[in-house]
């Protein structure tokens, strides 16, 4: 089966404490949190997974991150550089509705937006602690609402097309989900923030994986780790630049 996946970087938050990504991490190590959009081409279908952030000035105004973006990393520019027209995208999967995963949904005017039902419910009524992550703030419209009329709520595992299946991965948020890809060189999971960086995931023993620092249910985080271990796949974290070395993106060529 021919499946092609591209990882398109659309900016990064610089010098974020490592402890903000890996629960209980000690020390003052800093890392860059990379923002990616993924484009999957399979069986004549084009699917975008996560849509990134708005512009750096907006991000810095509303979030405590030193977010930067080169002109080439502007989402529409980057997509076209890779040969994709946003109008040709059939589906957008939001792994969850945190601000850095769904802020350009409206760019994909002809796409159906696939979000887990529990995520939509929580995005409307998050704990105060999580309101900023959903941009549920006075004077702001939550970013996922820009395409709410094209949004479909999923409540379970769902195949989008042969080789591409959305799977629930709760814990980071109530309705987190990932995308399982059957490529000709193996199985891969776009994991969203269930595993934001490689240090969240231990491929040899899921019990030694470490939950993301931001989570709504620690027990679900570990049920998700056990579930992922059973998928027998390579995990692709959402925010880790080292994913670009994965064989999944071997066919990813800029036009």
| x-marked contacts with Zn ion along 85-124 as a string, rule CB under 5 A | -------------x--------------------------
For residue 191, the minimal CB distance to Zn ion (Å) is: 11
Please, what is the minimum distance in Å from the beta carbon of residue 144 to Zn ion?
A: 13
| Stretch of 110-118, 177-185, 186-194, 245-253 lying at the interface with Zn ion (CB under 5 A) | 186-194
Contacts of 149 (CB under 8 A, 6+ apart): none
Name which of 3 and 16 has its Cβ closer to Zn ion.
16
Minimum CB separation of residue 50 from Zn ion in Å reads 10
Contacts with 9 (C-beta within 8 Å, 6 or more apart), sequence order: 34, 35, 36, 73, 78, 241
For residue 165, give the nearest of 252, 99, 91, 220 by alpha carbon: 91
Out of 119, 193, 220, 240, which residue is the one contacting Zn ion (CB under 5 A)?
A: 193
Size of the site for Zn ion (CB under 5 A): 2
Q: Between 47 and 86, how does the x/- string for binding to Zn ion read (CB under 5 A)?
A: ----------------------------------------
The angle subtended at Cα 200 by Cα 199 and Cα 204, nearest 5°, is 80
CB of 29 to Zn ion, least distance (A): 20
Q: Where are the alpha helices (DSSP H) in the chain?
A: 56-62, 75-81, 99-102, 117-124, 218-231
Q: Which is nearer to Zn ion, 53 or 146 (CB)?
A: 53
- C-beta of 98: minimal distance to Zn ion in Å? 4
In 3D space, the residue among 195, 161, 163, 197 whose CA is nearest the CA of residue 178 turns out to be: 195
Measured distance CA(216)–CA(130) in Å, rounded: 9
Question: Looking at 65-73, 76-84, 150-158, 185-193, which segment touches Zn ion (CB under 5 A)?
Answer: 185-193
- Number of Cα atoms under 13 Å in the Cβ half of residue 38: 31
Residue 39 DSSP code = E
Q: Which one of 48-56, 107-115, 141-149, 190-198 is the stretch in contact with Zn ion (CB under 5 A)?
A: 190-198
Residues engaged in binding Zn ion (CB under 5 A): 98, 193
């Amino acid at each position: 089966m021919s499946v092609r996946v591209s990882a398109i970087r659309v900016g990064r938050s610089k010098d974020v404490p490592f402890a903000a990504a890996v629960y209980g991490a000690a020390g003052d190590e800093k890392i860059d949190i990379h923002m990616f959009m993924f484009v999957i081409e399979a069986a004549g279908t084009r699917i975008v997974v996560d849509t990134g952030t708005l512009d750096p000035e907006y991000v810095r105004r509303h979030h405590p991150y030193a977010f930067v973006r080169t002109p080439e990393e502007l989402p529409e520019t980057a997509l076209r550089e890779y040969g994709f027209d946003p109008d040709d995208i059939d589906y957008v999967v939001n792994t969850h509705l945190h601000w850095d995963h769904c802020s350009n949904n409206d760019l994909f005017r002809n796409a159906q937006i696939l979000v887990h039902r529990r995520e939509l419910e929580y995005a409307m009524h998050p704990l105060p602690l999580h309101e900023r992550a959903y941009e549920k703030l006075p004077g702001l419209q939550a970013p996922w609402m820009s395409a709410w009329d094209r949004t479909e709520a999923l409540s379970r595992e769902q195949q989008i097309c042969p080789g591409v299946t959305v799977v629930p991965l709760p814990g980071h948020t109530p309705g987190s989900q990932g995308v399982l890809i059957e490529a000709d060189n193996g199985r891969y999971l776009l994991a969203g923030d269930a595993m934001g960086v490689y240090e969240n995931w231990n491929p040899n023993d899921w019990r030694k994986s470490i939950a993301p620092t931001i989570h709504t249910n620690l027990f679900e985080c570990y049920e998700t780790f056990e579930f992922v271990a059973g998928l027998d796949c390579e995990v692709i974290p959402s925010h880790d630049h080292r994913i670009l070395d994965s064989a999944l993106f071997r066919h990813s060529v800029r036009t």
